Amino acid sequence: MQNNGFSVGYKSCEERAPSGDTLYSDFSLENVTSQTRSMTCNVPGGVWANCLDVVCQRDPANPSQALCQCVKVASDEFITFGGNCDLSTCATVIWSAASPDLISGSGSQYISQMQAANRQVTLPANCPTPKAT
């Protein structure tokens, strides 16, 4: 379950260190592939899950996974790497996501932190813009 590599969170690495079966979620591009896309949802009354820095417990049924206590967030705009570019899921699925300022754009917190660590940043490509009908 634990990957070695760069990740970010609001808490220090010491505060996010695993302890027994308790873990803390952070943000990493470790599992991103060339097939991963970044989907921007813009849904009035949208809801998404903020899993950054939340407490997780190792899943006793599958120790390679964890069960996390994500925080439900209501906001019209959010970005997720889930959904396979199906924008209809923005209103029907509560995706693990982030606010746009966290991971996208030149001023994003993720990019600035990775650059401070002298690390290359390659975010997933954005989903194609739907054609107007």
Domains of the chain, residue spans: 22-120
**Size of the chain, expressed as the number of residues it contains:** 133
Per residue in 33-51, pLDDT (tens digit) is: 888 899 999 999 999 999 9
- Residue 44's SS3 state is coil
Report H helices in the chain: 100-103, 109-116
What would the pLDDT profile of 104-115 be if each residue is shown by its tens digit?
665 577 777 777
Question: Which residue would you say has higher pLDDT here, 43 or 120?
Answer: 43
92 pairs with which residues across the strands? none
* Both structure tokens of 45: 């009354």
Question: Are the beta carbons of 79 and 48 closer than 8 angstroms?
Answer: no
Q: Return the number of other C-beta atoms located less than 10 Å from residue 125's C-beta.
A: 12
pLDDT above 90 for 89: yes
**Could you give the CA distance from residue 43 to residue 90 in angstroms, rounded to a whole number?**
7
pTM for the model: 0.79
pLDDT of residue 80: 93
20 pLDDT above the threshold of 80: yes
